[in-house]
């Protein structure tokens, strides 16, 4: 949560609106703004090694040709032969993201950061909708002048509809769904564009004849049992949330710690040696511990996945009868996790995460563990000063291709913290 203390809460009734703001092709736009020769050209921000790297962000010139985030670069190249690969620079994106989130407090003092490139903003601090719109116009102008990028804004009385609205006219969109116009707006939205509806659910919905959101909401009113029988109670609750005009602001904007913390990596070359796989996994596990340490949390659930060279995947999730709070805890279980799902063939990507998180207890009694705690705190202090990847396990240097890099942060990696949000 980002807040600005200079705002004063006044006793006037605020407007019922909430906004969602989403940066347009965030990483790719940053690179195009930094390098004018890339403007107007199809680019993909990706990791090292084109053979196995994944598109992290694509410019709109590339998107128009079918290039999407998460797509293998070699597949994107088939769709767009002129696609330009630009190396990912996570530190730069993280810094710009934090600065943008600070800028958002010029619109409202209550900002909930949803990810590195999107946020929800409470507009109830304004008494007139026009006032908040003018604030956003100023914000978008400042964003363009300072960083050379654009953002799309959606405003409504419902957070989910605001998110749909922000995506409605990208890039550089600005959509306001006035109170009372929600159903009319949703009638124009394809079911596939509703966040929270996955591809498997979408296939079932389309087989039932639901292609537009308005049709789906009409089905909710006329034949709710058919939808309940097919999708269950959670989906029914989700559909009902689309029709709500009011929600608990205090609950929605309440600052929460993440529900899970994870780290994944797409490798520049396939690896099939068990020891190398363990080293990469332990490297990622250390990143997970560092991230949990920032939140002063520990976890009792762990998930692990492989993506093989043939692009098939295998995953495992386990609820443990003990908590994970140190690198030692993680490295004791990573060989077991690997052995549980590895089929012996070459691995392209690895990911590990912790869940069932809770506040870390300071109940270590052995001096050895106290030293580990001090080490973790020292690592966090170093990274706070010098940034992520300022410190890392030395055995990562023995991985193939790593010695060719200037620093381990040049690796194509993805860290993620997940926060469950509902209204």
Bond before 201 cis per omega within 30 degrees: no
Query: CA separation (Å) from 242 to 180, 186, 203?
Result: 13, 9, 20
DSSP code, position 54: B
Give the pairing type, strands 313-324 and 260-271. unpaired
Bond before 171 cis per omega within 30 degrees: yes
Q: Are 136 and 174 in contact (CB under 8 A)?
A: yes
> What are 47's two structure tokens?
């990791």
Strand partners, 174: 153
Q: What are phi and psi of 111, to 5 degrees?
A: -125, 130
Lookup result for tokens 């949000």? 421
Residue 60 host element (H or E)? helix 60-63
> Which of 31, 61, 118, 182 is the catalytic position?
118
Closest CA to 354 of 388, 383, 313, 325: 325
Strand partners, 354: 261, 302
Strand residues in 26-100 grouped as ranges (E): 43-46, 55-58, 84-87
Closest CA to 242 of 218, 265, 263: 218
Q: Is 131 a catalytic site residue?
A: no
DSSP code, position 83: P
Our CA angle for 272, 274, 276, nearest 5°, is 80
Which residues does the annotation mark as catalytic? 118
């Amino acid at each position: 949560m980002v807040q600005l203390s200079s705002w004063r809460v006044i006793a006037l009734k605020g407007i019922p609106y909430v906004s969602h703001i989403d940066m347009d092709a965030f990483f790719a736009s940053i690179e195009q703004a930094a390098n004018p020769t890339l403007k107007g050209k199809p680019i993909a921000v990706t990791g090292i090694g084109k053979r196995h790297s994944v598109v992290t962000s694509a410019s709109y010139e590339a998107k128009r040709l079918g290039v999407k985030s998460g797509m293998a670069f070699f597949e994107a190249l088939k769709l767009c032969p002129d696609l330009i690969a630009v190396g990912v620079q996570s530190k730069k994106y993280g810094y710009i993201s934090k600065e943008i989130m600070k800028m958002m407090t010029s619109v409202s003092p209550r900002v909930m950061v949803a990810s590195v490139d999107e946020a929800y903003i409470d507009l109830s601090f304004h008494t007139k909708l026009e006032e908040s719109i003018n604030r956003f116009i100023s914000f978008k102008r400042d964003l363009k002048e300072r960083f050379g990028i654009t953002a799309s804004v959606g405003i409504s009385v419902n957070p989910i509809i605001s998110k749909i609205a922000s995506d409605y006219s990208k890039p550089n969109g600005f959509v306001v769904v006035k109170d009372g116009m929600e159903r009319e707006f949703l009638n124009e939205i394809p079911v596939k564009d509703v966040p929270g509806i996955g591809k498997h659910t979408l296939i079932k919905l389309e087989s039932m004849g639901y292609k537009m959101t308005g049709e789906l909401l009409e089905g909710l009113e006329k034949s709710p049992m058919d939808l309940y029988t097919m999708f269950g109670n959670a989906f029914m609750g989700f559909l009902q949330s689309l029709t709500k005009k009011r929600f608990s602001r205090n609950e929605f904007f309440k600052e929460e710690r993440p529900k899970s913390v994870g780290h994944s990596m797409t490798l520049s070359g396939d690896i099939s040696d068990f020891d190398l796989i363990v080293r990469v996994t332990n490297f990622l596990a250390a990143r997970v511990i560092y991230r949990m340490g920032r939140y002063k949390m520990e976890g009792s659930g762990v998930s692990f996945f492989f993506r093989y060279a043939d692009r098939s995947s295998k995953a495992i999730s386990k609820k443990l009868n003990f908590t994970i709070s140190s690198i030692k805890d993680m490295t004791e279980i990573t060989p077991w996790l690997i052995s549980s799902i590895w089929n012996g063939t070459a691995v392209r990507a690895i990911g590990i995460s912790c869940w069932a998180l809770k506040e870390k207890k300071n109940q270590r009694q052995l001096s050895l563990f106290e030293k580990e705690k001090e080490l973790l705190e020292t690592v966090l202090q170093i990274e706070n000063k010098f940034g992520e990847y300022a410190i890392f396990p030395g055995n990562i240097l023995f991985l193939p291709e790593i010695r060719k890099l200037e620093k381990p942060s040049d690796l194509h990696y993805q860290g993620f913290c997940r926060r469950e949000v509902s209204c």
